[in-house]
Structure 1
Amino acid sequence: MTLEATVEAKLEAARADLASRDGVLIAFSGGVDSSVVAAMAYDALGEDAVACTARSETLPEAELEEARTVADEIGIRHEIVSFSELESDAFVENDDDRCYHCRTMRLGEMEATARELGLGTVCDGTNADDPGAGHRPGLQAVEELDVHSPLLAHDISKDEVRAVAAHYGLSVADKPSMACLSSRIPTGLEVTEERLTRVEQAEALLRQWGFEQFRVRDHDGLARIEVAPDELERALTVEFAETVRAELSEIGFEHVTLDLHGYRTGSVSPGTETEPGTDEPVVEDAFAPDPESDD
């Protein structure tokens, strides 16, 4: 795929930036953002670029397998480190800053691995659209740990990221955003392995049934299914209702519902945005949309 001149110039600048570094480790989820950073880094540095995926209870097994697949597509060395966010009381508490605690732990694992491998820089997939996308406490961790974000540094937006992914021939170029499993649990409700497991199993079932953009939110045993508007008609059938109720009941949900608003990112987390024309924040309720990152 041929890139527009402005995007090509940004890509060249980002590659030159990465090439100037003494080895790079990419915090790699297999989402489109981190995959593009990995492709650029491998392009610029070859064997001195390493993709690293943090494996924990909040990462669906299917996402780990896709990360392996995309790393193979790129040709980059792929390391997997294991840890548990559930060892952190602050994370389990699931307050407004859950993503900060999660990202701090994950990037801490990345930094330790980079040191072991003798790589001078840790990179992540934050893109140019992310800082303006509402309440994003995870970005604070990126800043505090001095992680380099080449997409952000070179003003590469989400649409441009997808164009670059297509340019590299990556299979995830059009992949929908996929936040970690803890984002399915409402703020204030503890994150537990039981809740994470039943959400992962429920979403695996919806994927098997052919849905592409969806979430299963766990409201303490009540499953709230969200599907994209263009897929909603397939969910509004007696056959689907009976099947999903039976299957999700078997994996531990006491009640199963379908959200007629459809899929909305961050719909169980409080968002903070600015009231138009003022500097006054608008604090949404627990079901208000709030952007999720795919990395």
Structure 2
Amino acid sequence: MNTEAKRDAALADLQAFDGALVAFSGGVDSAVVAALAAEALGDRAVACTAKSETLPADELEDAKRVAAEIGIRHEIVSFSELDSEAFARNDDDRCYHCRSMRLGKMFETARGLGIETVCDGTNASDPGEGHRPGLRAVEELNAYSPLLEADITKPEVRELAREYGLSVAEKPSMACLSSRIPTGLEVTEERLSRVEKAETLLRTWGFEQFRVRDHDGLARIEVGADELERALDPDFAAAVQDHLTDVGFEHVTLDLEGYRTGSVSPATTDGTGDERGTEGGAGDVFETEYPTPKR
């Protein structure tokens, strides 16, 4: 079945619902689900973004903008994962606890709007990609995954996003801020805040594919392979050590292996990890340190 046929199948399935609320991050997966729901259901489709400490402010603004592109009603609700000791403990099931709370908030909001169905952005490529405890929450809460049900893979999601003219069609996957904290190290508002500030700086400086990992006060910067040379520039080194220590890090390092998902994730049977699931203890890291500047 080609992509267009899969799209038609997803639309037909969605049209069978009285209405649908889409768990909406503003990333490419949830954006395509929102676009499908809006086409299938019109004003009976609602996108909903859950605002919390783990969602970067820039991502929330992106979600607002993309919802406007689609032309779908957009609701924003607030909750705190840090209210859950199980989440803050940051064990291998952190993503399960997060997704359970987040989707629970979606169902609560949907009920308030008189909507029975909550859709999420799980696609057909997701179940085979590493450690994904969050998928268990999707199954337990009985959220509906149109992309998965129609067997739409990640490349096909991007193809559909381009067809819908969505600005996020080529946007890299974005894990929540807690994914920057190794498993076993408590997730705190302080750690989330300094990671967000550090990544905002890298984005401001023009980097596109990167992560700032928080190893209990040590910032480990990963950038894409094509941006690594620029990150090694002495001027950047001087600037990054000043700014990242200003936002709360004690030491700053650059990972010479570059950006990769799951670099602090639990290993799977094939030796890889998964950032969009739970990230945990890192393996061997080859890095250069940007020393803490003297004050």
The verdict on a shared fold, with TM-score over 0.5 as the criterion, is yes
Distance 2:114 2:19 in 1: 8
Following TM superposition, by how much is the alpha carbon of 1:273 offset from its aligned partner in structure 2, in angstroms?
2.3
Q: Does the aligned pair in 2 maintain the 1:270–1:288 contact within 8 Å? A: no
Following TM superposition, by how much is the alpha carbon of 1:287 offset from its aligned partner in structure 2, in angstroms?
1.5
Q: Does the aligned pair in 2 maintain the 1:184–1:216 contact within 8 Å? A: yes
Residue 281 of structure 2 corresponds to which residue in structure 1? Answer: 286
Do the aligned partners of residues 176 and 285 (structure 1) sit closer, same or farther apart at CA in structure 2, a change above 3 Å counting? closer
Residue 164 of structure 2 corresponds to which residue in structure 1? Answer: 168
Residue 70 of structure 1 corresponds to which residue in structure 2? Answer: 66
User: Which of 70, 86, 94 lines up with 1:98 in the alignment?
Assistant: 94
The CA deviation string for residues 247-295 of structure 1, in whole angstroms up to 9 with x for no partner, is: 00101000000000100112112122258xxxxxxxx982159xxxxxx
The 5 A counterparts of 1:14-29 are 14-29=10-25
The DSSP-based 3-state class of the residue aligned with 1:272 is coil
Distance 1:75 1:63 in 2: 18
Amino acid at match of 1:145: L
Amino acid at match of 1:56: S
Count of residue pairs the alignment pairs up: 277
Amino acid at match of 2:240: V
Residue 151 of structure 1 corresponds to which residue in structure 2? Answer: 147
Amino acid at match of 2:282: F
Task: Structure 1 unaligned segments of length 5 or more: list them.
Answer: 276-283, 290-295
The CA deviation string for residues 211-264 of structure 1, in whole angstroms up to 9 with x for no partner, is: 001000000000000000011111011001000000001010000000001001
Following TM superposition, by how much is the alpha carbon of 1:184 offset from its aligned partner in structure 2, in angstroms?
0.2
1:46 counterpart = 2:42: yes
1:267 counterpart = 2:263: yes
The DSSP-based 3-state class of the residue aligned with 2:269 is strand
Residue 291 of structure 2 corresponds to which residue in structure 1? Answer: none
The 5 A counterparts of 1:114-153 are 114-153=110-149
User: Which of 185, 192, 195 lines up with 1:196 in the alignment?
Assistant: 192
Output the TM-score relative to the length of structure 1. Answer: 0.92
The CA deviation string for residues 2-55 of structure 1, in whole angstroms up to 9 with x for no partner, is: xxx710000000011001111000000000000000000000001000000000
| Runs of 4+ with deviation above 4 angstroms | none
Distance 2:112 2:269 in 1: 40
The DSSP-based 3-state class of the residue aligned with 2:221 is strand
Do the aligned partners of residues 141 and 13 (structure 1) sit closer, same or farther apart at CA in structure 2, a change above 3 Å counting? same
The CA deviation string for residues 129-176 of structure 1, in whole angstroms up to 9 with x for no partner, is: 000001100000000000000100110000000000000000000000
Q: Does the aligned pair in 2 maintain the 1:269–1:288 contact within 8 Å? A: no
Amino acid at match of 2:186: E
Residue 293 of structure 1 corresponds to which residue in structure 2? Answer: none
Amino acid at match of 1:23: G
Residue 257 of structure 1 corresponds to which residue in structure 2? Answer: 253
Distance 2:38 2:18 in 1: 13
Do the aligned partners of residues 185 and 153 (structure 1) sit closer, same or farther apart at CA in structure 2, a change above 3 Å counting? same
Amino acid at match of 2:190: E
Residue 177 of structure 1 corresponds to which residue in structure 2? Answer: 173
Distance 2:217 2:130 in 1: 28
Task: Structure 2 unaligned segments of length 5 or more: list them.
Answer: 272-278, 285-295
Residue 288 of structure 2 corresponds to which residue in structure 1? Answer: none
Q: Does the aligned pair in 1 maintain the 2:213–2:221 contact within 8 Å? A: yes
1:229 counterpart = 2:225: yes
Amino acid at match of 1:202: A
The DSSP-based 3-state class of the residue aligned with 1:257 is strand
The DSSP-based 3-state class of the residue aligned with 2:227 is helix
Output the TM-score relative to the length of structure 2. Answer: 0.92
